[in-house]
Chains A and B, each alone.
Chain A
Amino acid sequence: MLTFMGRRLLYMVPTLFAISLVSFLIIQLPPGDYITTLVAQMENDGQSLDAATIEALRVRYGLDEPFIVQYWLWISNILFHGDFGQSFQWNQPVAVLLERTLPFTILLTFSTLLFTWVIAFPIGIYSAVRQYSPGDYLATTIGFLGLAIPNFLLALGLMYVALFVFGQSVGGLFSPEYETAPWSLAKMGDLLGHLWIPMVVLGTAGTAGLIRVLRANLLDELRKPYVVAARSRGLSEPRILLKYPLRVAVNPFLSTIGWVLPALVSGEIIVSQVLSLPTTGPLLLGALRSQDMYLAGAVIFIVSVLTVVGTLLSDILLAKLDPRVRLGAK
């Protein structure tokens, strides 16, 4: 087990390097740079910059250097000083911005995951055990509906309902009176009151997908001879179900926990943008749009690194649960 983990840790190094390079490259792909965006933005508000100023700005932000030099500056600062650089558009260190938004992202991601699992597990198991029952059809239809509605439409729809039916203030994670208030029980309550919309929107598609996969896996297992044998020995149904089939059926989930994160971040970008949440998603979208490269690079890099770590964890979990995987990897 230890060698398995050690080897996996070693493998992470080239992956991380490639990731850092690509995170930095992605921002450089589109034409133009932050200064182009700045010029465009100022022009929208009727100001204009002359060519000399534009050149001076490029020098100030180090945008006149070749790609490799910029990359080296960036990565060496992260590696040797833990410094993610400055955000151009916020005029603040990237670390400060992340400190502010990451907790909300993590909160949202975890509550969404929790929501997904809590709903998906019982329904998925029920659907598999009672295949083709009315309940199965109902769960299937609702599950598929959840998959079929585009996230942003669901977000807009729920926002509309919250606004006109419940008269709740929408957008953001706090009501105006709590935005700048210190943490308190009331503020927590206010947060939870706002969290449900993004949680439902983000979780719906995931829940539906999970139900489908769980049902499919479980159906596969339930028809295997050992289950039939167990049943013929008179074991109770819940016991049969929980003892082995469920554990095997859960395998694919464990192997996917790791990369739920980038998928959630991608999904979260749209939903948070629609709902104006103070999470990392809109920060990343804004940074990508304005080519605020250190900010965008840092977010992509951090999410990617977390994913690699998550994948590692899920592999270890998998190896622990299913010895065949561990042995096979040798």
Chain B
Amino acid sequence: MSINIASEEAVAEVATAEPGVEPEAPDGTTKVDRDRAGQWRLVWWRFRAHKLAMVGLVTIIVIYVIALLAPFLAPFSSTTFDADYIYAPPQRVHVVDDDGNWGLHALGFTLEQDPETFALTHTVNPEDRIDLGFFVRGDSYTVVGPITWDVHLFGPTDPDRVVYLMGADRIGRDMFSMLIHGTRISMTIGLVGVALAFGLGVLLGGISGYVGGAVDTIIQRIVEFFMSLPTLPLWLGLAAALPQDWSSTRRYFAITIILAIIAWTDLARVVRGKFLSLRTEEFVVSARLDGSPGRRVIFRHMLPSFSSHLIASLTLSIPAMILAETSLSFLGLGLKAPTVSWGVLLEQAQNFRVLQDAPWLLLPGVAVVIAVLALNFVGDGLRDAADPYRA
């Protein structure tokens, strides 16, 4: 749980905030259309110029495609295991075998255990050839509703064999498949909480800052109250108080929402502070004197002037949710097996045995880092692109 956990918002809001600006324009319809297109094109042009942001965007798209097609892309289901492959290192894919025969294949392992130290050694067995192929049949999975399928992009041609490109975990499951399956939950579950916190924060912070007076006082007391409570004990308490018969995904979803309800306060404070200081700026005062309605002043004049700050906060908060999930799983409060998420996978990686004998179990950590980096770059690019002061 990083320091930034309090700022959870969704990038998606950026898209909705911008068009909200346009329809208010007093000019004729055609100009509005042109303006809107122009604005978007401008943003896109500027965004494209930001190379890291483009790399981030492509990465994020790839990750979500993986999440969408997970059961097809993963060679195995998340429950497939092989007792002879516990802590097995990654296997190499060969194209030609020693006899010069072509064909995609990998070599099996022979497992031995030292009777005194319990150390495991996996030796490559050149006799044990596992043929690999594309679009092979394997574990069946649900596509949509009752429709199931059992074709996988890649895997051993014999459905009873296994091949582990990124090694195996403590009970002999495929890290590569687990990583792909974990993408689904890790990349989606935080978004709801983030969106919720963003909406609440901007709305209540805006009201507080714009209206002021008694409303401001009450909202500020509520904000102060929520912010004063350390989140972790609250998590511990709430996690334990949720009904036991809920599935772990549902539980986490519930906790995510609860956390968002607490987390909106951070953003609300920032928004309020901005509103307070902007209220007396000339452009706001003149807009008000011109007779613009309050809503218009807020959305047309005030919000856009610090949307960059909002985007910067957003950028930091989706990843914060992803990290929160991993941290909570570490404390045993987040998701639990059999649910597969990167956090759950990392939970089994935090010991010296893994660091020493099976460092590939840390790969979900790499996945987290990549996803968080990519999201941050995209957010950063968006921030710069939507910057109203930029010439």
Direct contact of A and B (CB under 8 A): yes
Interface residues of A (CB under 8 A from B): 11, 14-15, 18-19, 22-23, 25-27, 29-31, 131, 137, 140-141, 144-145, 147-153, 156, 160, 205-206, 209, 212-213, 216-217, 219-220, 223-224, 251-252, 255-256, 258-260, 262-267, 269-270, 284-285, 288-289, 296, 300, 303-305, 307-308, 311, 318, 322, 324-325, 327-329
Given contacts A150-B326, A212-B315, contact A328 B230 (CB under 8 A): no
> Is B194 in the interface zone, CB < 8 Å from A?
no
| Cβ–Cβ contact A259 & B389, under 8 A | no
**Are B229's CB and A252's CB within 8 A?**
no
CB contacts between A and B, total, < 8 Å: 212
Known contacts A31-B240, A153-B365, A216-B309; decide if A328 and B330 are in contact (CB<8 Å): no
A25-B216 Cα distance, complex, nearest whole Å: 27
B interface residue numbers (CB < 8 A to A)? 1-6, 52, 212, 216-217, 220-221, 224-225, 227-234, 236-238, 240-241, 266, 269-270, 273, 276-277, 279-280, 306, 308-309, 311-313, 315-316, 319, 323, 326-327, 330-331, 346, 350, 352, 355, 362, 365, 368-370, 372-373, 376-377, 380, 383-384, 387, 389-390
Q: Which residues of B contact A151 (CB under 8 A)?
A: 1-2, 323, 327
Taking CB as reference atom, which chain B residue is nearest A26? B237
Q: Which of B225, B365, B368, B387 contacts A223 (CB 8 A)?
A: B387
A325 near B233 with CB under 8 A, answer no
Across the interface, which residues of B come within 8 angstroms of A269, CB to CB?
A: 232
Which residue of chain A has the shortest Cβ distance to B331 in the bound complex? A270
- Pairs A-B, 10 closest by C-beta atoms: A30-B240, A223-B389, A148-B372, A205-B2, A216-B312, A29-B237, A26-B237, A29-B241, A266-B232, A307-B228
Q: Are A144 and B224 interface neighbours, CB within 8 A?
A: no
**Chain B positions within 8 Å of A137 at CB level:** 52
Residue from A150, A156, A262 within 8 A of B228 (CB atoms): A262
CB distance from A259 to the nearest CB of B (A): 5
A223-B276 in contact given A15-B224, A217-B309 (Cβ < 8 Å): no
Known: A29-B240, A270-B1. A255 touches B327 (CB 8 A): no
- Among A148, A217, A264, contact of B3 (Cβ-Cβ < 8 Å): A264
Taking a contact as CB atoms under 8 Å apart, the answer to whether B224 and A311 are in contact is yes
A-B contact pairs, 19 of them (CB 8 A): A15-B221, A27-B237, A144-B373, A148-B372, A150-B327, A151-B1, A213-B309, A219-B308, A223-B389, A252-B309, A255-B270, A259-B6, A265-B230, A288-B236, A289-B236, A307-B228, A324-B279, A327-B280, A329-B216
Asked if A266 contacts B230 (CB within 8 A), the reply is: yes
Q: For the complex, would chain A's binding face be called helix, strand, loop or mixed by DSSP majority?
A: helix
Interface contact A209-B316, CB-CB below 8 Å: yes
B270 touches A219 (CB 8 A): no
Task: Give the distance to chain A from B127, nearest Cβ to Cβ, in Å.
Answer: 37
Residues of A within 8 A of B266 (CB): 256, 259
Q: A29-B241, A147-B319, A220-B306 are in contact. Are A307 and B227 (CB under 8 A)?
A: yes
A303 CB contacts on chain B under 8 angstroms: 228, 230
- A266, closest chain B residue (CB): B232
- Besides A149-B368, A206-B3, A263-B5, 10 new A-B residue pairs in contact (Cβ under 8 A), listed by A number: A147-B2, A147-B323, A148-B376, A213-B309, A219-B387, A220-B309, A252-B273, A258-B227, A259-B6, A265-B232
Complex Cα spacing A175 to B220, Å: 46
Q: How far is the CA of A304 from the CA of B363 in the complex (A)?
A: 37
Cα A265 to Cα B1 with chains together (Å): 10
- Indicate which residue in A153, A206, A328 contacts B350 across the interface (CB closer than 8 Å): A153
- Contact partners of B279 in chain A: CB under 8 A: 324, 328
Q: Please measure, in the bound complex, the distance between the C-alpha atom of A260 and the C-alpha atom of B237, giving whole angstroms.
A: 21
Q: Which residues of A contact B231 (CB under 8 A)?
A: 262-263, 266
Chain A positions within 8 Å of B273 at CB level:
251-252, 255, 318, 325
Chain A residues, CB < 8 A from B327: 150-152, 270
> In the complex where A144-B373, A255-B270 touch, is A213 in contact with B312 (Cβ < 8 A)?
yes
